[in-house]
Amino acid sequence: MNRTAFVEELKQMRFEEAYEGYQCKRLSQEEAASLLGVCSRSFRRYINRYEESGLEGLCDKRLHALSVRCAPVDEVMALTDLYSSRYNGWNVRHFHRWRQRKHQGSRSYSWVKNQLQTANLVAKGQSPGPHRIRRLPSALPGMMIHQDGSAHLWVPGVYWDLIVTMDDATNEHYSMRFVEQEGTVSSLLGVKDVLKAKGIFCTFYSDRGSHYWHTPEVGGKVDKNNPTQFGIALKRLGIDMIAAYSPEARGRSERAFATHQGRLPQELALNGITDIKAANAYLNHHYMPAFNEEFARPAREQGNAFVRLAGVNLDDCLCQRYEHRVRKDNCVQFNNLNLQLPKDKHRYHYIKAKVKVVIHLDGLISIFHGPRRLGRYSKDGCLLNEEQIQADVA
């Protein structure tokens, strides 16, 4: 139902109410007219038309009459036949100009376009998107932290991933790291740098990388009810995560990476740096302080939103945890490693017991049963602490 027909139907419903109130003397003529939004004279006209023809008499007769400017049916059919028989596939602008020159067409472009679209001979163009407004930076430092990675030829012949963790309010870079490949550990290390330097922040903003989010459908929405190991680690600290759905949404970090790609390779080459360890040292001691001095800006408001760690053990929070069951040989099978549990004075064995396998950011592996650490292992699965194991919090 179009708007005009809806207004007419609404007028009829309101007239019945106003007419009944006027006949029962509950409403004066002026009150009944105001209910319809008309003057008393128009209301009297409505009464006369209603008593003569009923509700149909209130309808605007122009709704059912053809406009005197409406094109004849023959002209519309001639237009559609001409297009479909000789000019099928032409865009409307081209066809309209050609029709004016070759077929003495006098109708406007809009009329020709509407007729062709009504006949399904031309597809309707997509409507323009909504008017977008640039998002203001956060008011305080620590309200939102961006993190993103960029694979680039930072040194000749070698592609590294640069992981940048920055503040949305000030553009200040808190962490920059070169890694062989972006993943959970590299992202958690960037977060750890921020936590150690500034404290706990409010929200974390990133793309939909598989180590940040689980995305059931490619290009679809993230599954916030099924967090990744990274998401679980941030949840332990009370940090909310926000997913970006386009590069434009990460405009601040994208512009920062454009600057890094235009400057950092030249500086590394000038200093003869080709090793990733030396490159990270240069980032922390030279490049990042100079970048922040040039590009960081004051926040919109005074103060900050960071919260002190207050005794939080980052090694226990920023880690990956997996549940496993101990096998009959008192070993835990994990990532092609056989992690042998040492002898324990508290239990004869842990066969079939559920334990937590924790991977720390330094690569070491711990096995916990409840709050107790049963063993700590190197990256290749060798037991490191064979002496008495002290109680520890997972």
pLDDT digits (tens, 9 = 90+) for 201-242: 999 999 999 999 999 888 889 999 999 999 999 999 999 999
Q: What is the pTM of this model?
A: 0.64
pLDDT at 392 (0 to 100): 43
What range defines the domain where residue 161 resides? 144-295
Residues 6 or more apart in contact with residue 390 via CB below 8 angstroms? 373
Asked whether 121 and 83 are in contact (CB, 8 A), the reply is yes
What burial class does residue 175 get, using C-beta atoms within 10 Å of its C-beta: 0-12 exposed, 13-18 middle, 19+ buried?
A: buried
Question: Is the same domain home to 237 and 355?
Answer: no
Question: Is the same domain home to 29 and 108?
Answer: no
Residues 6 or more apart in contact with residue 284 via CB below 8 angstroms? 176
Question: Is the same domain home to 250 and 344?
Answer: no
Asked whether 266 and 247 are in contact (CB, 8 A), the reply is no
Question: Is the same domain home to 345 and 267?
Answer: no
Average pLDDT in the chain: 87
Cβ count near 295 (within 10 Å): 15
pLDDT at 393 (0 to 100): 38
Note whether residue 314 is domain-resident.
no
Question: Is the same domain home to 261 and 336?
Answer: no
Handedness of CA 346, 352, 353, 358 (dihedral sign): positive
Residue type, 267: E
pLDDT at 4 (0 to 100): 67
Which of 26, 45, 64 is where one domain is finished? Answer: 64
Low-confidence ranges of the chain (pLDDT < 70): 1-7, 61-67, 385-394
Note whether residue 358 is domain-resident.
yes
Note whether residue 301 is domain-resident.
no
Note whether residue 60 is domain-resident.
yes
Residues 6 or more apart in contact with residue 78 via CB below 8 angstroms? none
Q: Which two tokens stand for residue 179?
A: 């890694």
Note whether residue 382 is domain-resident.
no
* End-to-end Cα separation, the chain, in angstroms: 64
Note whether residue 387 is domain-resident.
no
pLDDT at 64 (0 to 100): 65
